Structure 1
């Protein structure tokens, strides 16, 4: 599938996780439209290959599919070997793959008519009322949304450092803002980037799961509703800031695409995947030497709090 893809020494190379649908697919399309050679990754080979063919059918030739399960170390290693052999570098990593960490009580492809007349807050309220949060979902949410993202990032770091201007964009959310955590101690630790360590971050996530199983989230000041999603995104925000400090030669930023109509939101939301992806791509294509360790909400720099 990659035989006819050309990439010269000055061509930027991007890898996008979870690229076969929704925001991820649109990020791939828009990056390719800006002349970037895109490696679209997805866990499902059939769906990933179909997504590439869909983009090639509209004239975007420089897109390659490569299978990637971000929770599988061997799958990550295979992708890294491919990127190293084929390109010798990676210029842009967009960590988009994510799950809701919940069980949905409504169809994921609900028609837009369901939300006619609802404003932002009403749609959000509808969404959080129509999910159930089992412990298995919470564990999967942390495993994919935090640990999987981190493992992919760590694995491709040498390739990003081989770029003249390596960038990492971690797709985040307003659900990851620190103000949603009422536990002051946890909030302070996630803010204290000078002293926060990977080990301590792991301990905080373990404590969250312990409190989740004990049905003590509210009592311990953790966020309610989409709780694992919120905690994982808060952790990714903190990790991104830590990574930016460790690697000043890279641009590491978080991008909240907006409230987008996707499977995770059960097709509720105020933005299309195209509009949400535009907010992510804007961060991925910031000018050389631009900001790092920052959070962007709908394309504009904002607070992690």
Structure 2
């Protein structure tokens, strides 16, 4: 049975992604900053008939929390097949470049960039033991420098979200380098935008959460001939999914 770890999976898109991987026969570790929330998420999935799931306390901004999660999962399995770096924050209002405080940038980067690097580094040894290791870094189209600077883009005037967009652009660069470093291995590593989705993150505006989950697991399940080191937003580009960095 293949296994997956999803950070920030106790609700929203992370929870839906966990559910869809369970439907595919995975054993899923739900990473949750608050273990109580993670356990409640597991109970909800158990009630739907899914039993190959468990919660692990995992705060991506805390070195000890990540270390403890790695040790806990390492005691239960000798490999990890999929890592989905889903945990993220928008940094809070005000969102614009001149109004946002330095502390907002620091908080967003700590979760969205440093957290991704911290978790990936901690679990890379387990992932290396998989025959088909996959890493999906959950991104956003507003992290595309090309799109965000293009006046013809439909979302150009939708709001700049300087803090969130900057942190995701940095995470995208991390994804490029990670994919490059592992280019001669079985790893497939991509940045995936789930689209504007009805969750707490968007005040429940946007598309259906099931579609967002499908967009993520598509790249968690790609075969050995699939892409790596790419940026996908099927909401932005329905034809091929790939968008410019």
TM-score, normalised by the number of residues in structure 1: 0.71
The answer as to whether partners of 1:241 and 1:293 remain within 8 angstroms in 2 is yes
Q: Within the alignment, does 1:24 sit opposite 2:14 as a pair?
A: yes
Partner residue, 2:198: 261
Task: Measure, in 2, the Cα distance between the counterparts of 1:95 and 1:304.
Answer: 20
Partner residue, 2:47: 57
The 5-angstrom pairing of residues 25-174 of structure 1 reads: 25-103=15-93, 133-174=100-141
Root mean square deviation of aligned Cα = 1.8
SS in 1 for 2:201: coil
SS in 2 for 1:264: helix
Task: Measure, in 1, the Cα distance between the counterparts of 2:160 and 2:200.
Answer: 17
Give the gaps of 5 or more residues in structure 1: 1-10, 105-127, 183-223
Partner residue, 1:291: 227
TM-score, normalised by the number of residues in structure 2: 0.88
SS in 1 for 2:164: helix
Task: Measure, in 1, the Cα distance between the counterparts of 2:147 and 2:166.
Answer: 9
Deviation at 1:83, TM superposition (A): 2.1
SS in 2 for 1:40: strand
Partner residue, 2:189: 252
Give the gaps of 5 or more residues in structure 2: 150-158
SS in 2 for 1:15: strand
Task: Measure, in 2, the Cα distance between the counterparts of 1:303 and 1:268.
Answer: 23
SS in 2 for 1:51: helix
Partner residue, 1:13: 3
Task: Measure, in 2, the Cα distance between the counterparts of 1:141 and 1:292.
Answer: 25
Cα pair distance change 1:266/1:134, threshold 3 Å: farther
Task: Measure, in 1, the Cα distance between the counterparts of 2:91 and 2:71.
Answer: 30
The number of aligned residues is 228
Task: Measure, in 2, the Cα distance between the counterparts of 1:20 and 1:48.
Answer: 5
SS in 2 for 1:258: coil
SS in 2 for 1:301: coil
Q: Within the alignment, does 1:228 sit opposite 2:218 as a pair?
A: no
